[in-house]
Amino acid sequence: MSLLAVGVSHQTAPVALLEQFAMGADDTVKALHELVGSDHVSEAMVLATCNRVEVFAEVDRFHGGVTEVSRVLARQAGATVEELSPYVTVHYEDQAVAHLFTVAAGLDSMVVGETQVLGQLRHAYALAREQGTVGRAMHPVAQRALRVGKRVHAETGIDKAGASLVSVSLDRAEERIGELAGRPVLVVGAGSMGALAATTLARRGAAVTVSSRTPAHAERLAASVEGRAVDLPDLPAEVAAADVLVTCTGARGIVVGTDVVAGAMRSRIGAARPDRPLVVIDLALPRDVDPGVAALPGVHVVDLALLQGERGADGHASASPVAADDVAAAHALIEAETALLRAERQAAAVAPTVSALRSQAAEVVDAELLRLAARLPDLDARARTEVARTVRRVVDKLLHEPTVRVKELASAPGGVDYADALRALFGLGIDAEVLPARTNLAEAVTVDPDELRPGGTA
């Protein structure tokens, strides 16, 4: 078995396509069971965020695993594998582990160093555990990824700026209307992104109002930032009163229509500041705000598509710069952790071989001691004990070097091959099904998108 990562993200796909992949909790659960119910996938975890949908799976066949995961993703997006292939990325074995660690650390995020993805990964892992779609193979990988994410943020300066999509978006708002301190801001959505938006706004001194499909959630979030909560039917009046509207719900359709914003802008006429602009920040996927809002006079829209278009040469949205040394340190930590996990998995793969070799040796010794007892029945007990101790000591010394060496070599590229050689040389009849899955994490594979098509080489 080997780890496979297949998915789409802001790095390769436009926001319009990412919207097609948007997954609610029910969609994710359905995808998890569909994945593990396929022929080549035994375990699976789905990470779905506002700028990526990726499947991390344990597979017994690379080509079969890629095909099955790609088909599940294609069905979710309502498209064919052929249509999606230019945007799909595939990572395998060592590269898949390193990619997962990189995502957990925030290095692959639209805003480099952001920490929200670590919580999203924790939620994805918890859901997969709850649904029983991760097991012995993926538990240590997912747990290590969470630890790596924490280590990167604790041991490097990658998040010194505290950047996130929310903070970058609010920076864009301030570029338009000035500082947010004292300004009325409406947050629609009380989930994790809404909570991050509300707390970030409160730190900047904004007067926060929260609205949600679940009033109790809105009230709880509003209370935490000393703001106020309003019902969704009150949106037109609240938008009219706001300088900034932030939307981040999990709805599958438009939440704020063009007519609502147009009416809000008209209602400003006759107010103390009738010409004041409105900044609309839409961080939802799929989007909450009707695209037509961007064409309204006095309205400035900041959304994922805009942030994606502002990416620099490194593929990340422009934000407070992260020092190159911190990024390099984070990558070095990820590389070290990837190598350590590879060594652990390969050592675990050879352990049954070592155990089988020692068991076989013990059986041979026991058989020979029985034969000796039959040939020399008059041998006294003390001599018999000393002979047995000597024979076992000789066998242990003979086996010590090969067993120690095979464990050491297992952590090197191709190390599991030495276990194969040991089984062949000593005729160890180990049932392959009771052995841990053989993994060769030393060599990574990135598949050309054309190979993802059914019947291709992937």
At residue 322, the pLDDT reads 61
Whether residues 22 and 155 fall in one domain: yes
> Tell me: the pLDDT tens digits for 203-250?
999 999 999 999 999 999 999 999 999 999 999 999 999 999 999 998
Does 433 score more than 50 pLDDT? no
Whether residue 189 lies inside any domain: the answer is yes
Whether residues 77 and 205 fall in one domain: no
Render the burial of 275-300: b for 16+ CB within 10 Å, e for the rest. Answer: eebbbbbbbbbbbbbbeebbebeebb
At residue 267, the pLDDT reads 86
Whether residues 360 and 430 fall in one domain: yes
At residue 411, the pLDDT reads 64
> Tell me: the pLDDT tens digits for 138-174?
999 999 999 999 999 889 888 765 567 888 899 999 9
- Two tokens at 275? 């010409």
> Tell me: the pLDDT tens digits for 357-389?
888 888 999 999 999 989 998 888 899 899 999
How far apart CA 226 and CA 219 sit, in angstroms, is 10
Are 8 and 88 contacting, i.e. CB atoms less than 8 angstroms apart? Answer: yes
Are 218 and 230 contacting, i.e. CB atoms less than 8 angstroms apart? Answer: yes
> Tell me: the pLDDT tens digits for 82-103?
989 999 999 999 999 999 999 9
Whether residues 22 and 139 fall in one domain: yes
- Two tokens at 254? 């438009």
Does 179 score more than 70 pLDDT? yes
Q: In angstroms, what is the C-alpha Rg of the chain? A: 29
Which of 247, 278, 309 marks a domain boundary?
Answer: 309
Confidence of residue 109 (pLDDT cuts 50, 70, 90): confident
> Tell me: the pLDDT tens digits for 74-87?
998 888 999 899 99
Residues forming beta bridges with residue 161, ordered by sequence position: none
Whether residues 147 and 22 fall in one domain: yes
At 28 the three-state DSSP class reads helix
Residues forming beta bridges with residue 35, ordered by sequence position: none
Specify the CATH number for the domain of residue 26: 3.30.460.30
Whether residue 78 lies inside any domain: the answer is yes
Rounded mean pLDDT, 307-326: 62
Render the burial of 320-348: b for 16+ CB within 10 Å, e for the rest. Answer: eebeeebbebbbebbeebbbebbbebbbe
In the sheet with 2-9, reading across from the earlier edge strand, the strands are 41-49, 52-59, 2-9, 89-92
How far apart CA 87 and CA 69 sit, in angstroms, is 14
At 302 the three-state DSSP class reads strand
CB atoms within 10 A of CB 205: 12
Confidence of residue 336 (pLDDT cuts 50, 70, 90): very high
At residue 439, the pLDDT reads 32
Which positions make up the binding site?
A: 49-52, 109, 114-116, 120, 189-194
At residue 348, the pLDDT reads 72
Whether residue 154 lies inside any domain: the answer is yes
> Picking from 4-13, 116-125, 270-279, 399-408, which range would have the lowest pLDDT averaged per residue?
270-279
Does 294 score more than 80 pLDDT? yes
Does 307 score more than 90 pLDDT? no
Whether residues 132 and 278 fall in one domain: no
At residue 160, the pLDDT reads 64
Rounded mean pLDDT, 96-125: 90
Whether residues 35 and 88 fall in one domain: yes
Whether residues 83 and 180 fall in one domain: no
Whether residue 25 lies inside any domain: the answer is yes
Confidence of residue 311 (pLDDT cuts 50, 70, 90): low
Confidence of residue 23 (pLDDT cuts 50, 70, 90): confident
Does 45 score more than 60 pLDDT? yes
Does 289 score more than 50 pLDDT? yes
Rounded mean pLDDT, 15-33: 89
Whether residues 291 and 390 fall in one domain: no
Whether residues 10 and 124 fall in one domain: yes
Whether residues 223 and 251 fall in one domain: yes
Residue 61 DSSP code: -
* DSSP structure string for 384-453: HHHHHHHHHHHHHHHHHHHHHHHHHHHTSTTTHHHHHHHHHHHT----GGGSPPP--TTS-B---GGGGS
At residue 162, the pLDDT reads 52
CB atoms within 10 A of CB 244: 27
Whether residues 191 and 269 fall in one domain: yes
Whether residue 339 lies inside any domain: the answer is no
At residue 416, the pLDDT reads 61
Q: How many domains does the chain have?
A: 3
Whether residue 337 lies inside any domain: the answer is no
- Two tokens at 127? 């859901």
Q: Which residues contact 382 (CB under 8 A, 6 or more apart)?
A: none
> Tell me: the pLDDT tens digits for 396-432?
998 888 888 877 776 666 666 777 777 787 888 654 3
Does 112 score more than 90 pLDDT? no
Specify the CATH number for the domain of residue 230: 3.40.50.720
Query: Which residues belong to the active site?
Result: 50
- Domain residues for the domain of 377 are 351-434
Render the burial of 413-435: b for 16+ CB within 10 Å, e for the rest. Answer: eebbebbeebbeeeebeeeeeeb
How far apart CA 408 and CA 412 sit, in angstroms, is 8
Which positions make up the binding site for NADP(+)?
A: 189-194
Whether residue 97 lies inside any domain: the answer is yes
At residue 272, the pLDDT reads 54
Residue 244 DSSP code: E
Q: With CA atoms as reference, report the closest residue to 276 among 300, 243, 246, 239.
A: 243
Rounded mean pLDDT, 300-318: 71
What pTM does this model have? Answer: 0.68
Whether residue 176 lies inside any domain: the answer is yes
At 376 the three-state DSSP class reads coil
Does 12 score more than 80 pLDDT? yes
Confidence of residue 435 (pLDDT cuts 50, 70, 90): very low
